[in-house]
Structure 1
Amino acid sequence: MRLRFMLFLYNGSSSLYAKVFKRTKKAWGLSVDDFLNYPDDSLGYAVGEFYRAKGFDIMPKLENHDVYHVITGTDTKIHDEVAMQYLLMGNGKRSLYMYAMVLIGTLIYPEFIRYYLFSYQKGKSFYPFYNIEFKNYLSHSLLEVQAFLTQKLKYQTK
């Protein structure tokens, strides 16, 4: 029952979020095949594989969110989507949508609170990426993008 409720909220709110909060953002205009035409080791190809493996359609204007899943290794089950919002909060993102998902997700899935707090700390450990337009980095190596985003850890420990 709670899964259906969260899926209803998530699916219904995603398109509304894109219309209201991303109204000036341009969709990338890429298909799954376009992503899969990037070099095998690239971020673009990894995103294409993500779409293909999950059987997902591309949600225009929300492509960056799917990139976040790829670069952070966060799955897409509903409690993982809540964890992603915690990760983004830890990374510095601030939005009404994010706070609502964190609050509602925590209340509905309290048994994942340790995972959520871990995700928050994980987000803090990354170089701030929540505001990067990843379309500009699709041809870059996925490993290089991930290494750049985790460099914050290296510099904090020295």
Structure 2
Amino acid sequence: MTLVTTIIRHFERPKSNLTLEDLITYPQDTLGNQLGKFLFNNSYEQEPIPEKEDIYRLLITKEVSNTEEVAMYCYLFGNGDKSLQTVFSIVTGTLLYPHYIQYFYKRYKDGKRAFRFYDLDCFKMLHLPVNKIKDAFLIQ
């Protein structure tokens, strides 16, 4: 394995084999069903493939904007995710949106207060109700 291949694999986002139709068939108010609806309403792709970041976005913010994306990564950083992607997103976002620093810091503190969940296999929680997941991990 070459260095370039190793670097590329490091930055690949975990994806699921699930389709939008699979997600929509989950019971109402479960993570799977809510993820399907979220992707249907917010994805620009014809056949969106759910990624771990989509689940984080649904649990943490439900908003789709640049500042909320940075805030989500601040939350994940507070929750213990020290990956290069997370750090890069925070640094870049802070430079691009300096007037949101207080908000980003608040989201970081919220992530610190929540129980660690960033490294769990979120795709195994698709059958669980969103509110129960948020309550169990103290996600605000």
The two structures have a TM-score, normalised by structure 2, of 0.84
Please state how far the C-alpha of 1:73 moved relative to its aligned partner: 2.5
Please state how far the C-alpha of 1:112 moved relative to its aligned partner: 0.7
Structure 1 segments, 4+ long, off by >6 Å, are none
Q: Measure the CA separation in 2 of the matches of 1:82 and 1:65.
A: 12
How many residue pairs match? The answer is 132
Match of 1:145 in 2: 133
Match of 2:82 in 1: 94
Contact 2:20 2:49 in 1 (8 A): no
Q: Matches of residues 1-158 of structure 1 in structure 2 within 5 Å?
A: 19-21=8-10, 27-57=15-45, 58-59=48-49, 63-150=51-138
After superposition, the CA RMSD in angstroms is 2.2
Which structure: greater helix fraction?
1
Contact 2:70 2:89 in 1 (8 A): yes
Q: Measure the CA separation in 2 of the matches of 1:94 and 1:136.
A: 22
Which letter maps to 1:94? K
Please state how far the C-alpha of 1:20 moved relative to its aligned partner: 2.8
- CA separation of 1:89 and 1:31: change in aligned 2, threshold 3 A: same
Contact 2:15 2:52 in 1 (8 A): no
- CA separation of 1:68 and 1:26: change in aligned 2, threshold 3 A: closer
Which ranges in structure 1 are unaligned for 5 or more consecutive residues? 1-17, 154-158
Please state how far the C-alpha of 1:116 moved relative to its aligned partner: 0.3
Question: Percent sequence identity over matched residues?
Answer: 27
Give the SS at the match of 1:27. coil
What's the CA shift string for 1:117-154, capped at 9, x where partnerless? Answer: 11101111211111011111101111111111118x9x
Q: Measure the CA separation in 2 of the matches of 1:69 and 1:142.
A: 12
